[in-house]
Amino acid sequence: MASKIPNDNLTLPASWRSLAPVLVAVGAICVCVSLGLFYFTGGEGQESAGFSVFFHSYLANYMYCMSISLGALFFVMVQHLVRASWSASIKRLAELLAYTIPWWALLFIPILAMVLFTDSGALYKWNLGPDKLDSDLIKAKLAYLNPGFFAIRTVVYFAIFSIAARIYFTMSRKQDESGDVEITLKLQRWAGPFIMLFALALNFASFDWMMSTDAEWFSTIYGVYLFAAGMLSFFATMILTCHLLQRSGRMEKLVTLEHFQDMSKFQFGFIVFWGYIAFSQFLLYWYGNIPEETLWYKHRMEHGWQYVGLLLIAFHFVVPFLGTMSRHIRRNRPVMAFWASFILVVHWLDMMFLIMPNAGSLSTMMVLGHLVCWIGMVCIFAALFLLRVGETPVVAVKDPWLPDSLAYTVGP
């Protein structure tokens, strides 16, 4: 079957690959500009506040991209676990997205260095130490929330994510050369244990990196919320990437309307799942009405953040839910590419809503700084993806499931 696939359609256009260094430079410049915007516009004596806002913005935009890579990794492992054949022609793209995770480990170093070598509490209040903390709730959590243990856990999380991503990508590439079916069988056997490790690492990473920015508050389904958001944004990224590749003359016969419809159905499912988790979390805290638990929502119902919350209800759930419900829309590539782009924008609002209220109120300059940081991080993400691709075929040409994937059809 691999011989029937035209070789000139298996790699990215050279013009795309040459953009990687430019995108890295643009991304780095944008992140530095956002630091300047936050640091120097805070006013005299407010530089430390600007520094804090920058780190919150960096983390929010970092998690925006990282959540997509984590969603890709989970998708790859699940496809192997259930021995899915339909996804063989698109699985390589997910492997490439997941294989950016080791680079994300490097980009987490500024946050880790800030935690280990300063006690400013610029991002995590618990990092101030017991002598400077005025919260008994946070003091009670310092056995867990302390710089050394935080760093150890972070290394463990990235080790799990990176090892899994590397194994699934490198073994898939090895199969491109050998065509050994045993490789697929090995990856299927490893999928179950890796998914269990992934679930634990994702949950605790969400607690450590994101939820502990407001360490007095807690939610046991915070990791599930991040998982839902990450999977939704991953499928949006896949739909958009496949559409762009087909417009460049790649994968035209490899990704059919059937594949687009299935990716769109998964996207629709995670729109619903995200809404369910978001509402369930809110309902439980609203019903309990305990001050320590409702404080997180109070911060997001003032200083302009209440409008972001309303935008999320409307544009992260209601509008895309109605807009992507129809089967005819799901089988329309340009329309689904629009909805994928739409979802990726509101996913950014979601990450900002989770993290940024801890840094203060909204202002025009803050919004500009967040946008610049977002553009920078997305440019870096695109560059990492292009660097990983290189000359790698965008389809696993000797995957034993590929013939079934190319012949795949969806019922009415």
pTM of the model: 0.95
**What is 9-62 written as a DSSP string?**
GSS--HHHHTTHHHHHHHHHHHHHHHHHHHHHSS-TT-HHHHHHHHHHHHHHHH
**What is the per-residue pLDDT for 412?**
56
Give the mean pLDDT of the chain: 92
pLDDT for position 42: 58
Q: Give the model's pLDDT for residue 40.
A: 78
Q: Which range has the worst mean pLDDT, 35-39, 258-262, 368-372?
A: 35-39
Work out the pLDDT band at 214, boundaries 50, 70, 90.
very high
Map 109-158 to HEC letters. Answer: HHHHHHHHHCCCCCCCHHHHCCCCCCCHHHHCCCCCCCHHHHHHHHHHHH
- In the predicted structure, residue 346 carries a pLDDT above the cut 60: yes
pLDDT for 46 beyond 60 = no
Q: Rounded mean pLDDT of 160-170? A: 98
* pLDDT-wise least confident of 218-232, 273-287, 357-371: 357-371
Q: Find which of 16-20, 154-158, 408-412 is predicted with most confidence, using mean pLDDT.
A: 154-158
Tokens of 360: 């203060």
The fraction of the chain above a pLDDT of 90, given in percent, is: 78
Tell me: pLDDT of 313 over 50: yes
- The stretch 208-227 carries a mean pLDDT of 96
If pLDDT is split at 50, 70 and 90, which confidence band does 4 have? low
pLDDT at 91: 97
pLDDT in tens, 262-306: 999 999 999 999 999 999 999 999 999 988 889 899 999 988 899
State the pLDDT at residue 159. 99
Residue 389: band (very low, low, confident or very high) from pLDDT cuts 50, 70, 90: confident
User: Across residues 167-174, what is the average pLDDT?
Assistant: 97
Query: What contacts 251, CB < 8 A, 6 or more positions away?
Result: 9, 89, 242, 245, 394, 395
Structure tokens at 405: 């994937």
pLDDT at 370: 95
